[in-house]
Amino acid sequence: MADVALFMADLALGLLLGCVFAVIAHGLNLIWGVAKVVNVAHGEFIMLGAYGAYFLNLWFGFNPLLSVPVDAAIGLAVGVGFYFGFLHRELRGKESMGLQSEMVTLVATFGLALFLINAVQALWTGNNVGIPWSPGVVLVGSIQLPLGGLYVAIMSVAIIGLSHVFLTKTYLGNAIRAYSQDIPATQLVGINPTFTAAVGTALGFCITMAGGALLTVWLPTGIFPAMGNLYAPISFVIVVLGGPGKMWGSLVGGLTLGVIINVGQLFVGSIALATAIGFLTLIPVLLLRPEGLLR
Amino acid sequence: MRLRGIRSFGPTLWGIALFLVVLAGTAPWIPVFLLTVLIQLLIFSTLAYSLNLITGLTGYVSFGHVVFMAFGAYALAFAVGTFHLHPVAGVALGIGGVTLRFRGVYFAIATLVVAVAASYIVLEIKELGDGQGIILNIGFEPLSWFYTIWVILAIEVILTYWITHGRIGYGVRSIKSDEDAAKALGVNAARVKLFLYALSGLFAGGAGGVYAWTASGVFPQAFDLTFSLQMLAMIVIGGMGTLLGPLIGAVAVYIPSYIFLTVLIGFQFIIIGIVVTLIALFVPEGIVGSLRKYIPELRGILE
């Protein structure tokens, strides 16, 4: 049995890691909530965000935290492009997404994922890369915490908090939330549905790619074209755990999964098994509380 | 859930049957190199038809189908000899029993997540090679491979025809267009879906078994999600839920990717990715569906 100090250290690390998981899932959550679309290529946009941070470091010496706003700006543009390329045709003039449209977007974004992974592999090779940036550790009580991870966790919570303020306190944010609840009613009060949905989707991509940049702090040598195959399932599980469309749900789901993976490996002996267990919590949650852990 | 009531076979089935019989008849005289390409093509066709059974017929997108193929491959490697007793159907029933409770995107996500989790668990099991795979020492016998996968594919095609044209076919189609309405009319949606899913898992497992046999072993790459991608690409390009579509899709995806494979590795998936995206967005009916839509004369022939 693991001793208490080790348990506490893993718990703390799990919470820090959970924060960054929460951000990458938050982007998916927004797109899912607003457009009612599951972006299967989500992991690939995380990967692009991570590569963005890598190249900004390589060319200009940016550290991952500095590249977050740059990645976020790129993400906004990518999100607008994604909305008009993939979603606009399916959503235009409709009151809700039908089963047929749902299948079309699932398959189309699957094709996009395939394209992105292999295009990146052809462009920048399939080798693992990473950003050499480690600001050291800090002692909290008797637990050593990586300072980089701490910064990332603070920024992650800040990003989720800011998006929450935007969605609840501004006119546009309220319009986006209204759109996600009832499209015809939104149009009745004079909100442009296309503009609203495009902004909502763009915001989702903005947060996703910023999350990709934040994630690089945790991955000293872990940036490679197919990394989305791990982080997309993580994001899906987190969104379902927290409840799709619930903005604080991403944080709850992210912290839960981070703790399950990090503390779980202490008990089952391997990080792969712990990840599998974390993933499989999706099934009972979907069966028993399909609306997510949050009320 | 009766499967009877089919009086005559349509021209598409006869066409596929003719194609398969010609292949089987000429197989002993086909050069070995070409035969191995053909065997891979038949394996992929079997996989495409198996995904077609659940995704094509009911509209439930399964991203995790590779897990059945991988389980089939591991089952074969683990128990060479007891080859026709697939535990895969049992696995499929288990996974299907849980995941089929979810609809639409939730089903897709659940299958994907279960597939990733299953691969992590299998790769940790010592008896299954401890993440290194199992290397078998079985000989190079292309004709046996060919006839095994041929029989599996033939049974699968006939079953697909039976399901689409028998009484259960009406139930399946009604689930695809409106599951709630289908249930209200007395279709036992849960049973029909579970039946199709188990069948689909069984055939994917069979294909995986032959795959492990041809590769003379099984490696963690059997869990590679690109297999799922390829299956989905095949039925999307060929035409979802059609009888001929998966075969056309398998040829259309496998042959070009085989050619590209020798030219530039990775390049084939860039093109497949673009093609799948464009087809899903602009011609969601696929090749067979579009032919039926735009050339009315073909409607009685192509299915």
Q: Assign B131 a pLDDT band (cuts: 50, 70, 90).
A: low
Residues of B in contact with A123 (CB under 8 A): none
Query: Is the predicted pLDDT of residue B2 greater than 50, yes or no?
Result: no
Range of the domain at A115: 4-288
- Of A132-141, B8-17, B128-137, B173-182, the range with the lowest mean pLDDT is B128-137
Q: What is the mean pLDDT of residues A259-269?
A: 87
Beta bridge partners of A139: A144
Confidence of residue B127 (pLDDT cuts 50, 70, 90): low
Give the pLDDT mean for B78-101.
60
- pLDDT at residue B91, rounded to an integer: 62
Of residues A257, A36, A30, the one with CA closest to residue A159: A30
Residue A80 pLDDT grade (very low, low, confident, very high; cuts 50, 70, 90): very high
What is d(CA B293, CA B283) in angstroms, rounded to the nearest whole number?
Answer: 11
Residue A290 has pLDDT above 70, yes or no: yes
pLDDT range class, residue A156, cuts 50, 70, 90: very high
pLDDT for A37-48, tens place per residue? Answer: 888 899 999 999
Question: What's the pLDDT score for residue B94?
Answer: 62
The arithmetic mean of pLDDT across residues B9-35, rounded, is 83
Q: Which amino acid belongs to residue A196?
A: T
Question: Tell me, what's the pLDDT at B137?
Answer: 66
CB contact under 8 A, A273 and B236: no
CA distance A36 to chain B (A): 10
Q: What is residue A75's predicted lDDT score, i.e. its pLDDT? A: 92
pLDDT band at B1 (very low <50, low <70, confident <90, very high): very low
Residue B299 in domain = no
Residues 26-65 of chain A with CB under 8 A from chain B are: 38, 40
Of A106, A114, A287, the CB nearest to B105: A106
Asked whether this complex has an ipTM greater than 0.90, the answer is no
In Å, how far is A145's CA from the nearest CA of chain B? 28
d(CA A245, CA A31): 9
| Stretch among A45-49, A54-58, B100-104, B113-117 having the lowest mean pLDDT | B100-104
Query: Does the model's pTM come out above 0.80?
Result: yes
CB contact under 8 A, B124 and A270: yes
Mean of the pLDDT values across residues B149-164?
88
Domain harbouring A68, CATH code: 1.10.3470
Average pLDDT over residues B222-251: 85
Of the candidates A121, A126, A236, the beta carbon closest to that of B109 is on: A236
Domain count across chain B? 1
Interface membership of A11 toward B (CB under 8 Å) = no
Taking residues A18-39, what's their average pLDDT? 88
Do residue B277 and residue A40 have CB atoms under 8 angstroms apart? no
The helix or strand, by DSSP H or E, that contains position B134, with its residue range, turns out to be: strand B134-135
Q: Residue A276: its chain B contacts at CB < 8 A? A: 116-118, 120-121
CB contact under 8 A, B269 and A236: no
Percent over 70 (pLDDT), chain B: 83
B263: which chain A residues are within 8 Å (Cβ-Cβ)? none
Q: Which residue, among A268, A282, A285, would best test binding to B if mutated, counting the most B CBs under 10 Å from its CB?
A: A282
pLDDT (average), residues A164-175: 92
pLDDT band at A107 (very low <50, low <70, confident <90, very high): confident
| Mean of pLDDT over chain A | 87
Mean residue pLDDT across chain B: 80
Interface touch A237/B281, C-beta < 8 Å: no
Question: How far does B19 lie from chain A, in Å, by closest CA?
Answer: 30
pLDDT of residue B90: 57
Residue predicted with more confidence, B246 or B216:
B246
Strands B134-135 and A143-146: unpaired
Predicted pLDDT at A77: 93
In a domain, B298, yes or no: no
From the list A106, A116, A121, which residue is nearest B61 (CB)? A106
Asked if residue A295 is part of any domain, the answer here is no
CB-nearest to B61 from A103, A280, A286 is A103
Q: Which residue in A has a C-alpha nearest to residue B64's C-alpha?
A: A233
Give per-residue pLDDT as tens, B266-294: 677 788 888 888 888 888 888 888 888 88
Looking at the predicted structure, is the pLDDT value of residue B216 above 80? no
Main-chain phi, psi angles of B217, to 5 degrees: 150, 180
- Please indicate whether residue A46 or residue B297 has the higher confidence score (pLDDT): A46
Smallest CA-to-CA distance from A177 within A241, A96, A240, A245 is with A245
Q: Which residue has the tokens 């997510």?
A: A292
Judge: B284–A100 Cβ closer than 8 Å, yes or no: yes
User: Is B27 part of a structural domain of the chain?
Assistant: yes
Q: What is the pLDDT of residue B6?
A: 58
Contact at CB, B270 and A276, closer than 8 angstroms: no
What is the number of structural domains in chain A?
1
Indicate yes or no: CB of A108 within 8 angstroms of CB of B276: yes
| Overall average pLDDT of the B214-223 stretch | 78
Q: How far apart are CA A249 and CA A30, in angstroms?
A: 11
Average pLDDT over residues B59-65: 84
- Domain assignment present for residue A293? The answer is no
Mean pLDDT of B117-135: 74
**pLDDT for A216-253, tens place per residue?**
988 888 888 888 888 998 999 999 888 887 878 889 99
Chain A environment of B225 (Cβ under 8 Å)? 229
Residue with tokens 């069966």: A287
The strand pair at A143-146 and A137-140 is best described as antiparallel
Per-residue pLDDT band for B12 (boundaries 50, 70, 90) equals: confident
Q: Does A294 reside within a domain?
A: no
- Domain extent, residue B29, equals 11-224
Average pLDDT over residues B139-147: 79
| Span A103-130, average pLDDT | 86
For residue B116, which residues of chain A lie inside 8 Å, CB to CB? 229-230, 233, 276, 279
DSSP sequence for A46-63:
HHHHHHHHHHHHHHH---
- Does the CB of A130 have a partner CB in chain B at under 8 Å? no
Give start and end residues of each alpha helix (H) in chain B. Answer: 11-26, 32-51, 57-58, 66-78, 88-99, 104-122, 142-165, 167-177, 179-184, 189-215, 225-238, 245-263, 267-282, 286-294
pLDDT confidence bin for B73, thresholds 50/70/90: confident
Q: Which residues of B touch A241 (CB under 8 A)?
A: none
Q: Of A138-142, B137-141, B180-184, where does the model show the most confidence?
A: B180-184
Asked if B118 lies within 8 A of A276 by C-beta distance, the reply is: yes
How confident is the model at residue B84, as a pLDDT?
47
A102 Cβ under 8 Å from any chain B Cβ: yes
Q: Which of B225, B264, B281 sits opposite A108 (nearest CB)?
A: B281
Q: Which residues of A touch B117 (CB under 8 A)?
A: 275-277, 279-280
pLDDT tier, A183 (very low <50, low <70, confident <90, very high otherwise): confident
A111–chain B Cβ distance below 8 A for any pair = yes
B276 inside domain: no
Letter for the amino acid at A96? S
Q: What is the mean pLDDT of residues A113-132?
A: 86
The answer for residues whose C-beta is within 8 angstroms of residue B2's C-beta and 6 or more apart is: B166, B167, B168
> CB under 8 Å, gap of 24 or more: what pairs does B83-87 form?
B83/B209, B83/B213, B86/B202, B86/B205, B86/B206, B86/B209
**Assigned domain for B264 exists:** no
Alpha carbon of residue A40 to chain centroid: 12
> Mutate which of A31, A103, A238 to disrupt the B interface (most B C-beta within 10 Å)?
A103
Cβ of A121 under 8 Å from any chain B Cβ? yes
Query: How confident is the model over A1-22, as pLDDT tens digits?
Result: 457 888 888 888 889 999 999 9
Does A233 reach chain B within 8 Å, measured CB to CB?
yes
Pick from A100, A112, A236: CB nearest B273: A112
Give domain status of residue B138, yes or no: yes
Nearest to B99 by CA among B63, B66, B73: B63
Q: Is residue A119, in this structure, part of any structural domain at all?
A: yes
